[in-house]
Every structure is written in structure tokens, then in C-alpha cells.
Amino acid sequence: MIKKIFSIIILILILTLPVSLEKSYALQEIAGKILVQLKSGEQHIFQWGLVSDTDSPIKIALSARGEGSQFLSFPNSVNLLPHKLLFINVTASIPSSYTAKSEVTPTLIAEQLGQQGGATVINVELTKIVTIDINGAQIVQSPTTGVASTPEFSSMSALILGMAITSMILFSAFTRKYEIFKM
């Protein structure tokens, strides 16, 4: 009996441990797909929206990788003001001599470099896949530059869900190990 009471007390203490909530700042982007339709020899300018929720300006390095990244041009870096949305103009240009694949999907990359001086430097990288339909072979939609959307659940919901799952796992482990609810 004492073993059961002790197990229940330990379980309650573990479940009620204080959880420290820290606000984390991050580089963010406008949600949605980027689709560009071009013919060989054409170019199209589209926008990629970035925002920082930090309280100070930050410098963001921009790059691209993957098949078709050679067709994209944009600034090497941009400065984001605190809590402000910045639309970056990206130009997609297909050479007139291009005859290879009809669809390429390069990846745009925005990288926020961490602050130097500490034991650990954390860089934040954000990516966006761009679909470039060349000569209209695959896709019949009109070009879009991204549509804002609301996330399905917040980080607080994820934290609560994580705590609930952890609690169930711990409870299950304790009940199996100490057989506290066995009749």
C-alpha cells in the first residue's frame, strides 16, 4: 500500500513540474506555394515575403540551390526591420536556348546568422521551394506569389500536446513498473 501511495506521489510531482516558457524569436515567411510559368526566353519577377519577430534589425543572407537555381536572381542579402514584412523581388529567367526539363524546383534559402561570442552559435535557415513550369507542359494554373494562411495549431498547442504525451508515457511506465493499479 505504501508503495502505491509513494508511486502516486512521485507521478504527481513529475506531472506538476514547472514548465519554463521562453519566447523564441524566429525568421518567418509568407505561407503558400510559389509557381512560375514561363516560356523559353522569358523572365518573370515574383515576390518572397520574409518577416522577423525580433526586436532589432537583422541581416539575412539569401541563396538558392537545386535544379533550376541558376534561373533565379535576387539580392545576396537583405536587412529585415523588427516585426516588419519585407517582400524580396526574385527574377526567374529562362534562356531562349533552354530545351531540357519542363519543370524544375529550385529552393530559395534565407539564413539568419547567429550572434558570435557565445559558446554556441545558432543559425536559422528558412527554405521555400519554387516550382518553375517551362513552356507550360505540366501545369495549367495561373502564377501565384504566395498566399498567407493560418497555421493549423500554435506552438503552445504543440507544447501542451507534447506534455500530455509525455505524461501518458510516464504514467504508463510507472503503472507497469510498480503495478500500482493491479487488483
Domains contained in the chain, CATH given: 24-148 (2.60.40.10)
pLDDT at res. 162: 57
Residues 6+ apart with CB under 8 A from 148: 30, 31, 32
| Per-residue pLDDT reduced to its tens digit, 24-33 | 557 788 888 8
pTM of the predicted model over 0.95? no
CA within 13 Å, CB half, 31:
5
pLDDT at res. 168: 58
pLDDT confidence tier of residue 9, bands split at 50, 70 and 90:
confident
Asked whether residue 20 carries a pLDDT value surpassing 80, the answer given is no
| Per-residue pLDDT reduced to its tens digit, 93-129 | 999 888 888 899 999 999 987 766 777 777 788 899 9
| Per-residue pLDDT reduced to its tens digit, 124-180 | 888 999 999 988 655 444 444 433 333 344 444 555 555 555 555 555 555 555 555
Q: Are 34 and 48 in contact (CB under 8 A)?
A: yes
